[in-house]
């Protein structure tokens, strides 16, 4: 299974220092982790000889404040991936609806439960946007679970709250649970108009997955959490999860996420992403050999227009000559093999990518002609 951010593997393959690679394959904050968080982590060293609180009372309290929900609904995890795997294992769905292309970890988790997966294929000609009407017509009482990624990875498509209400209502009627992965919601402009967390108490069939890993640029720490509509299911999850699955450094995020610095940091991240995403989109849109898809978040999906002169693998290799790592999307189910994804980074790195993309294209064409 492939994921973005495997910079060490790419460095080994190319025989270069991983710190010389500009990683456009991982969708994390372009600002790096906040300076104030550094001090929090430094202060945490003295706690390494103490076991974390196995029930994470203070961490859950801080997460509830951050998300404006009840502490009892919060289940922390070692990244969003743990929440996804644990929740699916506890639900143990006999039959699952999975719109694709989407994050591969859902399918991996479903495979461990032997769930029967029905794939709902989104159309690239409609920018991979979810056809809500067709989806609901495809779902009857035989389904136990629907998994949605909103905003979706790798397409960047964002569902409206009104559409999700309709989906939840239908799923409630047919007795189907819904898991919505909002791992990228923190990057969305006007997030408060899209996240379903404020309405979680109204939907006992809903589980929302969130993460701090990407927005605070801490993939080396890993911290995610689930928010349950059902207090009973949240307690079952809490009682059955692996003890001490969150380390002391991740637990220390409780002392940072609700600070003024954290709020200012998030605001700055959203402003940079909004501006740079638009600039990157316009630059790539002007290139005749690429089609770039609209996105609501901190990454862009790009298609190489049909040609016998260029492949994603060839482009990957050529960009790596400049130390730029992109995400080959060919292993996403439902995604043709001529797509790749890039993160939106800071102005200097984004310009480096644009310059390298233009150079790579010319180099590949020259190699084909010569």
Query: Is the model's pLDDT at 238 over the cut of 80?
Result: yes
pLDDT at 12: 72
Number of domain units in the chain? 2
Instruction: Indicate if 51 and 159 belong to the same structural domain.
Output: yes
Do 197 and 302 belong to one domain? no
- Say whether both 211 and 121 belong to one domain: yes
Res 305: pLDDT: 85
pLDDT at 39: 94
**What's the mean pLDDT when you consider all of the chain?**
92
Structural domain including 71 reads 35-258
207 within some domain = yes
* 168 in a structural domain: yes
Confidence check: pLDDT of 7 > 90: no
Statement to judge: residues 200 and 346 lie in one domain? no
In a domain, 1, yes or no: no
Query: Is residue 87 situated within a structural domain?
Result: yes
Question: Which residue, of 221, 243, 258, is where some domain finishes?
Answer: 258
Same domain as 122, residue 63: yes
- Please check whether residues 65 and 129 belong to one and the same domain: yes
In a domain, 141, yes or no: yes
pLDDT tens profile 31-89: 999 999 999 999 999 999 999 999 999 999 999 999 999 999 999 999 999 999 999 99
Q: Say what the pTM is.
A: 0.93
6 pLDDT band (50/70/90 cuts)?
A: low
Per-residue exposure over 114-149, b if at least 16 CB sit within 10 Å of its own CB, e if not? ebebeebebebeeebebebeebbeebeeebbbbbbb
| Of 214, 232, 258, the domain-final residue | 258
pLDDT (tens digit per residue) in 320-362: 989 999 999 998 999 988 999 999 999 999 999 999 998 887 7
- Looking at residue 18, its pLDDT comes to 65
With respect to residue 279, please indicate whether it lies within any of the assigned structural domains: yes
Same domain, 63 and 180: yes
* Same-domain pairing of 251 and 176: yes
- pLDDT tens, residue by residue, 193-223: 999 999 999 999 999 999 999 999 999 999 9
- Checking if the pLDDT of 364 tops 80, the result is no
Q: Tell me, yes or no, whether 129 and 265 share the same domain.
A: no
> Which CATH number do you get for residue 221?
3.40.640.10
Per-residue HEC secondary structure of the chain comes to CCCCCCHHHHHHHHCCCHHHCEECCCCCCCCCCCHHHHHHHHHHHHHCCCCCCCCCHHHHHHHHHHHCCCHHHEEEECHHHHHHHHHHHHHCCCEEEEEECCCHHHHHHHHHCCCEEEEEECCHHHCCCCCHHHHHHCCCCCCCEEEEECCCCCCCCCCCHHHHHHHHHHHHHHCCEEEEECCCHHHCCCHHHCCCHHHHHHCCCEEEEEECCCCCCCCCCCCEEEEECCHHHHHHHHHHCCCCCCCHHHHHHHHCCCCHHHHHHHHHHHHHHHHHHHHHHHHHHCCCCEEECCCCCCEEEEEECCCCCCCHHHHHHHHHCCCEECEECCCCCCCCCCEEEEECCCHHHHHHHHHHHHHHHHHHHHHHHC
Q: Give the pLDDT band of residue 1 (cuts 50, 70, 90).
A: very low
Q: Render pLDDT for 156-170 as a digit per residue (tens, 0 to 9).
A: 999 999 999 999 999
The structure tokens listed for 302 are: 């790009």
Q: Do 17 and 50 share a structural domain?
A: no
Same-domain check for residues 287 and 170? no
């Amino acid at each position: 299974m492939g994921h973005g951010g495997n910079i060490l593997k790419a460095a080994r393959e190319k025989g270069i220092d991983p710190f010389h690679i500009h990683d456009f394959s991982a969708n994390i904050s372009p600002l790096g982790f906040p300076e104030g968080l550094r001090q929090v982590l430094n202060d945490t060293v003295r706690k390494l000889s103490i076991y974390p609180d196995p029930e994470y009372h203070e961490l859950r309290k801080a997460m509830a404040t951050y998300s404006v929900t009840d502490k009892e609904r919060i289940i922390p995890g070692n990244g969003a991936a743990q929440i996804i795997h644990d929740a699916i294992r506890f639900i143990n769905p006999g039959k699952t609806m999975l719109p694709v292309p989407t994050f591969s970890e859902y399918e991996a988790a479903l495979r461990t439960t032997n769930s029967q997966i029905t794939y709902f294929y989104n159309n690239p000609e409609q920018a991979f946007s979810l056809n809500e009407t067709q989806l609901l017509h495809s779902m009857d009482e035989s389904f136990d679970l629907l998994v949605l990624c909103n905003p979706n990875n790798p397409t960047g498509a964002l569902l409206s709250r009104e559409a999700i209400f309709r989906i939840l209502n239908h799923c409630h009627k047919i007795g189907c649970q819904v898991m919505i992965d909002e791992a990228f919601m923190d990057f969305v402009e006007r997030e408060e108009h899209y996240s379903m967390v404020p309405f979680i108490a109204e939907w006992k069939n809903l589980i929302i997955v969130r993460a701090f890993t990407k927005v605070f640029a801490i993939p080396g720490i890993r911290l995610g959490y689930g928010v349950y509509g059902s207090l009973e299911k949240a307690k079952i999850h809490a009682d059955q999860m692996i003890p001490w699955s969150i380390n002391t450094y991740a637990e220390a995020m409780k002392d940072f996420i609700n600070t003024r610095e954290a709020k200012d940091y998030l605001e700055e991240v959203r402003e940079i992403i909004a501006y740079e995403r638009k600039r990157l989109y316009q630059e790539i849109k002007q290139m005749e050999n690429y089609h770039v898809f609209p996105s609501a978040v901190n990454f862009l999906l790009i298609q190489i227009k049909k040609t016998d002169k260029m492949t994603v693998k060839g482009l990957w290799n050529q960009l790596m000559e400049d130390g730029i790592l992109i995400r080959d999307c060919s292993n996403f189910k439902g995604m043709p093999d001529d797509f790749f994804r890039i993160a939106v980074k800071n102005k200097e790195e984004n310009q480096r990518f644009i310059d390298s993309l233009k150079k790579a294209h010319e180099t590949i064409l020259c190699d084909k002609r010569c």
